[in-house]
Amino acid sequence: MSDIAVILPDGSELSVPADATVEDAAYEIGPGLGKDTVAGVVDGELVDKAAPLHDGARLEIVTDQSEEYLDVLRHSAAHVFAQALQRLHPGAKLAIGPPTDDGFYYDVTGVDLDESDFPEIESEMEDIVEADYPIERLEVPREEALESFEDNRFKREILEEEAAGEDPVSFYEQDDWRDLCKGPHVESTGEIGAVKLMSISSAYWRGDEDNDQLTRVYGTAFESEAELTEFLELREEAAERDHRKIGQEMELFSIDETTGPGLPLYHPNGKRILDELADYAKSLNLEAGYDPVETPHLFRTELWKKSGHYDNYVDDMFLLDVNDEEYGLKPMNCPGHATIFDDHSWSYRDLPVRYFEDGKVYRKEQRGELSGLSRVWAFTIDDGHLFVRPDQIEAEINLIIENILTVFETFDLSAHVALATRPEKSVGSDEIWEQAESQLRDVLDSQGMDYDLEPGDGAFYGPKIDFSFEDALGRKWDGPTVQLDFNMPERFELSYTGEDNEDHRPVMIHRALYGSYERFFMVLIEHFDGKFPFWLAPEQVRILPISDENLGYAHRTKNALDDFRVEVEDRDMTIGRKIRAAHDDRVPYMVIVGGDEEEAETISVRDRFENEVNDVDPSEFREHLEAERAEKRVEPDFVDAE
């Protein structure tokens, strides 16, 4: 049997037997690594250490020191929960129980649960952890597996769909309990240092409202109690920063069920911030050579059939019948931009052609998936589409990445990068997809960027580079993307005249700097805890007269700052209460004026950190604000400058 070659994280190749597993490869690297192997990451997918390898596989060995180890441990914690539940409630039926970004969940039925049941279940889970049962992988004949789930239609459906054709199938066993599962898992239940059940909700089987409603129990797990305590403290802080809570406090947005779910209404304060974000994105686009375009909110579905969206997105589209013709609210802006490009004749000298649009799009998400601004029915993408020659791809993507990283830097957000490859539902040939994925990988490698692989997470028309934001609490959120598309130009028969005077097909690049305004706004609200940078703040300066006698001077001071968003606090309150109110409203700067300031024609400036400087020349303060706005500084720093 001939050997195969697998690619290690440093780019080197390792030769292993054709039937080698992840664990076998680890032992080839070294006996110590082989012994410590918990799981593997093969082509970006977390797998059991017994998973087979294939020629050309990208392999990363997972040990208890790896970032992925926590996912493995939490997967095992989900099994501990399920075992504890069935010990206490033998009639409970299990559906699925995967790890998540901050813990795990398990969907169950056949048992009535609420959070008052958590202490009893947690106590049983702790007994299972303390018993330190080995977690062993079993190969079970398919017919035996089907018989064991005779009264569990969810597990049978998994066997008939996700595990179709597999024989035997894998189970994991601890003590006298076992579950159908692909893994991976830790070696024993005792490796779970701390567990806690967090919340309970309802969920539909496979996320489909037409399917059975299940009970979903969320939990989390860590290697130690100290890590769990830190997580719970962070979670408490995250609840205080919840964008829905802050959005209401600052009157930024609302979502009213009477107007429709997932349809945010932006109040004046929120709209001011969105306008600033749009102006910033526009400036970056214009500087990078993009031309603005605008497309309508709906098109005949003939356009969506031509683009491929109808076949791949019809279940998520809002469709309308107009005079016996079918129309659809647009789920994406790209077909409109492709149509604009197709309305012209282009030479190779004209390319690249770059369009941008803040385009409102509509996607019919499941009602249960809607959540604040993070998942909505109507949202705005700061969309850009480029039509380029093949020889321009690398240069254009490098420029796009440069602009995206500029956005991250401006808002003091850390970036995480991933390459998302071909999904199951897709259009285009294998050759086109391989070419597109290879070119994106080459760009990332040439920039020396660290990136993860996300198999199957690409768009249906092409692979993409995904950027996620890491906020002040260390949480990651989906962000902008760069997508390479050889398929839509083919479907729209787009062309340009080449240097050889023949027609050639351009390559289409989809990109966004924010991702969507809604998701990005949500991230900023929680990242800054509502304390927006001066240039973004809906109210930038509040003038606080010490008494009504100083109201005239307060308004004259406001007029001197007429380029900024300034309010005068004229309510009948003490100066102490006025300061507290401005602080609670998260205003970057307070200007205090009393008799002494009016007589000297000066002001006292106080920032939201409770720092204050007196005897300030108003013109000096104005000049500082102009600089702070122009440079888009993250924190107010006038007092520091003084």
The reply to whether 293 and 416 lie within a common domain is: yes
From 34-38, 84-88, 396-400, 453-457, the region with the lowest mean pLDDT: 453-457
Residue 402 above 80 pLDDT?
A: yes
Task: State the pLDDT confidence band at 429, using cuts at 50, 70 and 90.
Answer: confident
One domain, residues 514 and 553 = no
Please check whether residues 517 and 578 belong to one and the same domain: no
Residue 337 lies in a domain: yes
Q: Report yes or no on 199 lying in a domain.
A: yes
Q: Is the pLDDT assigned to residue 355 strictly greater than 70?
A: yes
Q: Are residues 558 and 519 in the same domain?
A: no
CATH number at residue 140: 3.30.980.10
The residue out of 475, 496, 527 marking a domain boundary is: 527
In a domain, 536, yes or no: no
Q: Residue 550: which CATH number? A: 3.40.50.800
Name which residue leads in pLDDT, 487 or 29: 29
- Examine residue 214 and state whether it is found in any structural domain, yes or no: yes
Q: Which residues contact 123 (CB under 8 A, 6 or more apart)?
A: none
Residue 535 counted as domain residue: no
Judge contact between 592 and 553, C-beta under 8 A.
Answer: no
Running DSSP on this structure, what letter comes out for residue 508? E
Is 362 a residue whose pLDDT tops 90? yes
- Tell me the Ramachandran region of residue 538: left when phi exceeds 0, alpha when psi lies from -120 to 50, beta otherwise: alpha
Same domain? 370 vs 443: yes
Q: pLDDT tens digits, residue range 242-280?
A: 999 999 999 999 998 888 888 999 999 999 999 999 999
State the pLDDT at residue 1.
Answer: 59
Higher pLDDT, 491 or 459: 491
In a domain? residue 534: no
Domain match, 262 and 379 both: yes
| Angle at the Cα of 205 from the Cα atoms of 75 and 89, rounded to 5 degrees | 65
Residue 339 three-state SS: helix
The sign of the torsion formed by the CA atoms of 255, 258, 262, 266 equals negative
What digits encode the pLDDT tens for the residues 190-231? 999 999 999 999 888 987 778 899 999 999 999 999 999 999
Find the range with the poorest average confidence among 340-354, 428-442, 549-563: 428-442
Query: Mean pLDDT across the stretch 570-588?
Result: 94
Asked whether residue 55 falls in the same domain as residue 73, the answer is: no
pLDDT tens digits along 369-381: 778 898 899 999 9
Q: What is the CATH number of the domain that holds 9?
A: 3.10.20.30
Examine residue 311 and state whether it is found in any structural domain, yes or no: yes
Examine the domain organization and report whether 555 and 571 are in the same domain. yes
Output the pLDDT for position 401. Answer: 94
Residue positions forming the annotated binding site for Zn(2+): 334, 385, 510
Q: Kindly report which listed range (10-14, 23-27, 356-360) carries the lowest average pLDDT score.
A: 10-14
Residues 275 and 221 in one domain: no
Q: What is the predicted pLDDT for the residue at 37?
A: 95
pLDDT band at 422 (very low <50, low <70, confident <90, very high): confident
For residues 337 and 293, the answer to whether their CB atoms sit within 8 Å is yes
Q: Please determine, for residue 388, whether its predicted confidence score (pLDDT) is greater than 60.
A: yes
Host domain of residue 492? 253-527
Give yes or no: residues 429 and 565 share one domain.
no
Residue keyed to tokens 């969506």? 304
Does residue 302 surpass a pLDDT of 70?
Answer: yes
Look at residue 642 in the predicted model and tell me its pLDDT: 57
Domain of residue 358, CATH code:
3.30.930.10
Is the same domain home to 430 and 304?
A: yes
Question: How much is the pLDDT for 641?
Answer: 59
Q: Does residue 296 have a cis peptide bond before it, meaning omega lies within 30 degrees of 0?
A: no
Query: What gap in Å lies between CA 397 and CA 619, rounded to an integer?
Result: 44
Tell which phi-psi region holds residue 470, choosing left (phi > 0), alpha (psi between -120 and 50) or beta. Answer: beta
Q: Does the pLDDT at position 537 exceed 70?
A: yes
The pLDDT of residue 210:
82
In which residue are the tokens 């019948």 written? Answer: 321
| Binding site feature residues | 334, 385, 510
Amino acid identity for residue 371 in this structure = S
pLDDT at 334 > cutoff 80: yes
CA 11/CA 399 separation, integer angstroms: 25
381 Cβ contact list (under 8 Å, min separation 6): 332, 333, 358, 359, 361, 512, 515, 516, 517
The domain tally of the chain equals 4
Residues 374 and 495 in one domain: yes
Smallest CA-to-CA distance from 466 within 510, 433, 412 is with 510
Name the amino acid, one letter, at 152: N
| pLDDT confidence band for 431 (50 / 70 / 90) | confident
Considering 12, 30, 62, which residue would you say is the last residue of a domain? 62
Which of 35, 62, 89 terminates a domain? The answer is 62
Whether residue 301 lies inside any domain: the answer is yes
Q: What is the DSSP letter of 352?
A: P
**Which pLDDT value is given to residue 368?**
67
Indicate whether 608 pLDDT > 60.
yes
- Whether the per-residue pLDDT at 165 is higher than 90: the answer is no
